[in-house]
A = this chain, B = another copy of it.
């Protein structure tokens, strides 16, 4: 990690001029570390180092590592605005729209992706698993479930979530080679049809 040590320069104590943006620098470093190494793997000391700052300043700003995690993993997009925009045009082609959007922000956010941080932490840290379950559930799944007109809407939304989390794991974390290299529109087509089926087609097998 490139320790740019832009703020907090010089080893001198005391306040530097202006607003100094140190708080934001710490949040950026925390996002990168938590996303890349999960809650346990990321250390307050490393985050402070990346931000060019003393570890105790992190505590001064955020109180605890846990609180820093919550602040850093806040999702940069508001689901209350995004989900209706995706669902708005109707249920036709919703699968493809959802996937194009998701793969887009995954590629755009790269390694500083709060979803990666949540997944990497949820897997080890029960508190983070609860955070993710609640965020996923209330902010996204229930909204989608409310928008589709079919039996067992919540189960359908969870089916979609299982495939989407799987994409995240396979491409970003396990880095399965052909999947990671595949053309985005190809994946939109393949996975989009799966999601569409989970959302609207009959569930019971023949």
Contacts and interface: CB of A to CB of B under 8 A. Distances in A.
- Number of identical monomers bound together in the oligomeric complex: 2
Question: Main secondary structure on chain A at its contact with chain B?
Answer: helix
Interface of A: 37-38, 40-41, 96, 119-120, 122-125, 129, 132-133, 136-137, 141, 152, 154-155, 158-159, 161-167, 169-171, 173-179, 182, 186, 188-190, 192-194, 197-198, 203-205
Contacts of A119: 123, 169
A51 B165 CA distance: 35
Given A120-B123, A133-B175, 20 more contacts: A38-B123, A40-B40, A119-B169, A120-B124, A122-B173, A123-B123, A123-B169, A129-B173, A133-B174, A136-B176, A155-B182, A158-B176, A162-B163, A162-B166, A166-B166, A166-B169, A189-B204, A193-B197, A193-B205, A194-B194
A192 B205 contact: yes
